[in-house]
Amino acid sequence: MPKGFTLWFTGLSGSGKSTLAERVRDVLLERGMKVEVLDGDEVRTNLSKGLGFSKEDRDTNIRRIGWVCHLLTRNDVVAISAAISPYKAIRDENRKLIGRFVEVYCECDLDTLKGRDPKGLYEKAFNGEIKNFTGVSDPYESPEKAEVVVNTASEDIDASVSKIIATLEQLSYIPATDGRGYSEDEEESIKQRLKDLGYI
Amino acid sequence: MLFFRGRKKRRVCVVGLDGVPFGLLKRLAEESVMPRTAAIIREGGLRQMRASLPPVSSVSWSCFMTGANPAEHGIFGFTDVSRDSYQLRFPTFADVAVPTFWDTLGERGRRCAVINQPATYPAREIPGALVSGFVALQLQKSVWPKTHLPALERMGYRIDVDSRKAREDADGLFDDLEATLKTRRMAAGYMWKQESWDYFQVVVTGTDRLHHFLWNAVDRPDDPRHQRAMDYYRRIDDFIGGLWDAFHKGRSADREGEGFMLLSDHGFGALRRDLRLNAWLHDNGYLEYVKDDPASVADIDPDRTRAFALDPGRIHINARERFAGGCVDAAEAPALREEIAAKLRALKFEGEDTVAHVFTREEAFHGPKQGLAADLVVISRAGFDLKGTTKGREIFAESHFQGMHTWDDAFLWTLLPAPESPDISEPAAAILEWLAK
């Protein structure tokens, strides 16, 4: 059974992708998995150095990240991408390339993002000092079928991490270790009940 | 009679009748077995409703409580299969991946009291109170908040009838059904008063149990137990009438009945033969076991199995990309799926067609968890009860059960806006909209 998969975070700048990626990475590392995080900002300083923010350059950047995730995934590594990845078509292209692909949409409204704005980017974007800023002067296409949607404006970070881990367990990409299931005795009793009604 | 009352806060009361088909409810109302129900549905609003795919309570009630498709809420049956070991696993309430409409009501400051809703075990926090239904094991883990536990224990609350005994003692089943219904009514009366609710729901599951074991007693007037079965329905009718009266007692804000709802989660019909899908798959060369007496699908031989079935009519292709031991390449899967579907559509018993529909995963399920769903969902024709058992090599087998679930003849009675031919995931939106005003 392959062990690798790609966890693809997408969402606007400041929506919590990198923070959640790190938290999920820590959980997966604790469970003994090999994990690599490809953070959007870091990628732009090495793998995609020199690329700008035109649609063409953004697409190239996301395709490059997708290609690295593909290589990691097929070598049993959990690849976590945390880049804005604004265009649905390119995300879907990566999904198709990688196969074992879990999309996590970090949903967050603009007012909350403006309020956070640790680097002052939204303020600059709204003042016209930064061009092609996703969500302000450049489009962001929300996913329609993300495996996980976390609302980082309203959800507690622990709740978002749990939601992501629970989905990975349900998809059998990681083994379940929680208390969500039944004990062996309970399972036997449930089996019996289902048998008594002809359900199994 | 229609009349209007003062401007008071809107409330909703839902009575679920597990496994009661549209035709039976209509008949019992028309034949005066259920006079209170007859009076309620006389105003119109009774519809035939489609249950979930597959039509089992865990999936159907999960669709009802979330207003979502199984590929959104993630409950596909009473069982799932491990992608690594093919062992069966049993989803819990915690596996429901989207909020229930009770949670949504809570966000709007509304409170719910929900009693005996299947597929909610172990009980978790909801905005209000919850008493879990089937497959609930212990009362202690079935009650939220725990403050209600002592009262339920004192009244001798019964989660369910003893289905094991029912097989051997048909008359004893009636006693058990009556006793269980009695404590259900007591629990409903208790919650009605104790909880400050905006949404109230109670589900009667004894109907499903009666139909499984003694469908003939319900359906055939010449059956020796027919009158006892009708007496049980009279008791249910009295329960519904009591809730109706209490609901309208000086508190309803709008047209009489508008916040009241009756529904079932699937239909029922007479069972002639079990249709064992794994025996059929084996017979047709799609499935092999590693032992002669397989206990479950965990005993399939993954290298020689191209497809296997889970209850009740879920066929999984043993695809490499989905199962640890998968042997079917992604490129081959669609043709294999179509081949199996075509053969099943042509499957006959004594010259008679046995399969009504074979839905593909894409036809049946819509949502992010579509990849977890079975590749095919089979719906049988009347009388043929689909089974995912690995026991027995006979495809059509006798059964000790008299009744079987059916898909397209659940019922919904509501005066709220609803489609003429609704699906069980649709009432949730109507309830939320009604309570939003």
Question: Are residue B418 and residue B394 in the same domain, yes or no?
Answer: no
Which pLDDT score is estimated for B14? 98
Whether residue B265 lies inside any domain: the answer is: yes
Taking 80 as the threshold, does the pLDDT of residue B204 lie above it?
Answer: yes
Tell me whether residues B97 and A181 touch, CB distance under 8 A.
no
CATH code of the domain covering residue B107: 3.40.720.10
CB B228 within 8 A of CB B174: yes
Chain B positions with Cβ closer than 8 Å to A: 56, 74, 78-79, 82-84, 88-90, 92, 94-95, 97, 134-135, 137, 160, 163-164, 166-167, 209, 212, 296, 311-312, 321, 324, 367-369, 371-372, 385, 387-389, 399, 401
Which pLDDT score is estimated for B321? 82
pLDDT tens-digit series, residues B168-178:
899 999 999 99
Taking 80 as the threshold, does the pLDDT of residue B160 lie above it?
Answer: yes
Chain B residues in contact with A146 by the CB 8 A cut-off are 368
The band of B253, judged by pLDDT with boundaries at 50, 70 and 90, is low
Residue A101 Cα, gap to closest chain B Cα (Å): 11
Question: Are residue B182 and residue B113 in the same domain, yes or no?
Answer: yes
pLDDT tens-digit series, residues B388-433:
999 999 999 999 999 999 999 999 999 999 999 999 999 999 999 9
Which pLDDT score is estimated for A112? 94
ipTM above 0.85, yes or no: yes
Mean pLDDT, to the nearest integer, of A137-149? Answer: 91
Tell me whether residues B163 and A197 touch, CB distance under 8 A.
yes
Which pLDDT score is estimated for A159? 82
Mean pLDDT, to the nearest integer, of A151-164? Answer: 88
Tell me whether residues B84 and A172 touch, CB distance under 8 A.
yes
Chain B residues in contact with A148 by the CB 8 A cut-off are 368
Which pLDDT score is estimated for B254? 60
Taking 80 as the threshold, does the pLDDT of residue A176 lie above it?
Answer: no
Question: Are residue B219 and residue B350 in the same domain, yes or no?
Answer: no
Annotation says A85 is catalytic? yes
Which one is catalytic: A85, A142, A162, A172? Answer: A85
The band of B2, judged by pLDDT with boundaries at 50, 70 and 90, is very low
Which pLDDT score is estimated for A144? 87
Whether residue B1 lies inside any domain: the answer is: no
pLDDT tens-digit series, residues B349-366:
999 999 999 999 999 999
Tell me whether residues B79 and A194 touch, CB distance under 8 A.
yes
The band of A1, judged by pLDDT with boundaries at 50, 70 and 90, is low
Task: Give the count of domains, chain A.
Answer: 1
What residue of A is the nearest CA neighbor of B82?
A172
Which pLDDT score is estimated for B251? 61
Tell me whether residues A193 and B82 touch, CB distance under 8 A.
no
Chain A residues in contact with B164 by the CB 8 A cut-off are 192, 196
Mean pLDDT, to the nearest integer, of B320-349? Answer: 94
pLDDT tens-digit series, residues B213-240:
999 999 999 999 999 999 999 999 999 9
Mean pLDDT, to the nearest integer, of B275-303? Answer: 97
Chain A residues in contact with B398 by the CB 8 A cut-off are none
pLDDT tens-digit series, residues B99-154:
999 999 999 999 999 999 999 999 988 999 999 999 999 998 999 998 999 999 99
The band of B285, judged by pLDDT with boundaries at 50, 70 and 90, is very high
The band of A32, judged by pLDDT with boundaries at 50, 70 and 90, is confident
Mean pLDDT, to the nearest integer, of B160-185? Answer: 95
> Positive or negative, the Cα torsion across A157, B104, B129, B75?
negative
Question: Are residue B338 and residue B222 in the same domain, yes or no?
Answer: no
The residue range of the domain holding B376 is: 273-398
Whether residue B416 lies inside any domain: the answer is: yes
Question: Are residue B206 and residue B82 in the same domain, yes or no?
Answer: yes
Q: Distance between CA atoms of B282 and B296, rounded to whole angstroms?
A: 14
Q: State the pTM of this model.
A: 0.77
Question: Are residue B115 and residue B99 in the same domain, yes or no?
Answer: yes
Task: Please give the mean pLDDT across all residues of chain B.
Answer: 94
Question: Are residue B118 and residue B94 in the same domain, yes or no?
Answer: yes
Chain B residues in contact with A170 by the CB 8 A cut-off are 74, 95, 97, 369, 372
Whether residue B419 lies inside any domain: the answer is: yes
CB B418 within 8 A of CB B412: yes
Residue A88 Cα, gap to closest chain B Cα (Å): 15
Whether residue B3 lies inside any domain: the answer is: no
Which pLDDT score is estimated for B3? 41
Residue A47 Cα, gap to closest chain B Cα (Å): 30
Question: Are residue B259 and residue B289 in the same domain, yes or no?
Answer: no
Question: Are residue B243 and residue B300 in the same domain, yes or no?
Answer: no
Taking 50 as the threshold, does the pLDDT of residue B207 lie above it?
Answer: yes
pLDDT tens-digit series, residues A78-120:
999 999 999 999 999 999 999 899 999 999 999 999 999 888 9
Write the CA distances from A180 to A176, B90, B91, B241, integer angstroms: 8, 10, 9, 39
Residue B256 Cα, gap to closest chain A Cα (Å): 38
Mean pLDDT, to the nearest integer, of B2-9? Answer: 54
Question: Are residue B308 and residue B324 in the same domain, yes or no?
Answer: yes
Q: Distance between CA atoms of B369 and A119, rounded to whole angstroms?
A: 36
Task: Give the count of domains, chain B.
Answer: 2
The residue range of the domain holding A69 is: 5-196
Taking 50 as the threshold, does the pLDDT of residue B5 lie above it?
Answer: no
Mean pLDDT, to the nearest integer, of B252-275? Answer: 90
Question: Are residue B388 and residue B425 in the same domain, yes or no?
Answer: no
Residue B324 Cα, gap to closest chain A Cα (Å): 4
Chain B residues in contact with A162 by the CB 8 A cut-off are none
Question: Are residue B257 and residue B279 in the same domain, yes or no?
Answer: no
Which pLDDT score is estimated for A182? 84
Which pLDDT score is estimated for B1? 40
Could you tell me what percent of chain B has a pLDDT over 70?
A: 97
CATH code of the domain covering residue B353: 3.30.1360
